[in-house]
Amino acid sequence: MNTSSPTRFTRRRVLATAASLPLAATLLAPRGTWGQTNACPALLNHRFNRLQDDAPQSLCQYAGRVLLVVNTASRCGYTPQYEGLEKLHARFASRGLVVLGFPANNFGAQEPGSNEQIAAFCFNTFGVRFPMFAKSDVIGPQANPLHRELARLTGQAPRWNFHKYLIDRRASTVLSFASDVAPESPTLTAAVERALAG
């Protein structure tokens, strides 16, 4: 893929897809926190268990932030990107960036461990502190609902570990970056800067 021309979709497409989201996503909206279901962008209206303790987490808590969604693996040639992702998260967190990690065993069986093992590896090896979620599929019929939406909206499903989706503050624009685009690359850093400024 041409990493200098990341895939985009417009707010119109997001609004058009809102009606097609599963009813379950609407029912799971954290009403107590947000008051009304539509306060959470449709793209973020999902819950996932936290990697460390399986506690359910709503992505609605990240509404208004710039999100970098990454499917991760512990035994991949790209695994050292964890360090760059953590640095990127720390560098821009005060301005509103959140990196979200989704461990997956879809590519080369390179994430075989349990959630507990993955959490320990990420923290002990790379000092990962950005939010991570329980292992799930990111491609195929069992893909988690966020990755299904991201793939459908951008036309690009992950082809390997450490594929990245950058979501703007309104969850209305998504850029897709291949695995070989490093977290510290000028291409990704510039895109993050633009999203934060927007």
Give, for all 198 residues of the chain, the pLDDT tens digit.
Answer: 444 445 444 444 443 333 333 333 333 333 333 333 458 999 999 999 999 999 999 999 999 999 999 999 999 999 999 999 999 999 999 999 999 999 999 999 999 999 999 999 999 999 999 999 999 999 999 999 999 999 999 999 999 999 999 999 999 999 999 999 999 999 999 999 999 998
- Which residues are registered as beta bridge partners of 48? 57
CA dihedral 115, 116, 119, 125 (to 10 degrees): -120
User: What's the pLDDT score for residue 28?
Assistant: 36
Helix H, strand E, coil C: the string for 68-114 is: EEEEECCCCCCCCHHHHHHHHHHHHHHHCEEEEEEECCCCCCCCCCC
For 22-67, the three-class secondary structure string (H helix, E strand, C coil) is: CHHHHHCCCHHHHCCHHHCCHHHCCEEEECCCCCEEEHHHHCCCEE
Location of structure tokens 């994430």: 111
Say what the pLDDT of residue 18 is: 36
The single residue of 40, 60, 76, 122 carrying the catalytic annotation is 76
CATH superfamily membership of 11-197: Glutaredoxin (3.40.30.10)
Note the residue count of the chain: 198
Active site (annotated) includes residue 76: yes
Q: What are phi and psi of 149, to 5 degrees?
A: -65, -45
pLDDT of amino acid 6: 52
Kindly state the DSSP code that residue 13 receives in the 8-state scheme. H
What is the structure's pLDDT at 31? 35
* Stated pTM of the model: 0.82
How close are the terminal C-alpha atoms of the chain, in Å? 25
Separation CA 194–CA 63 (nearest Å): 17
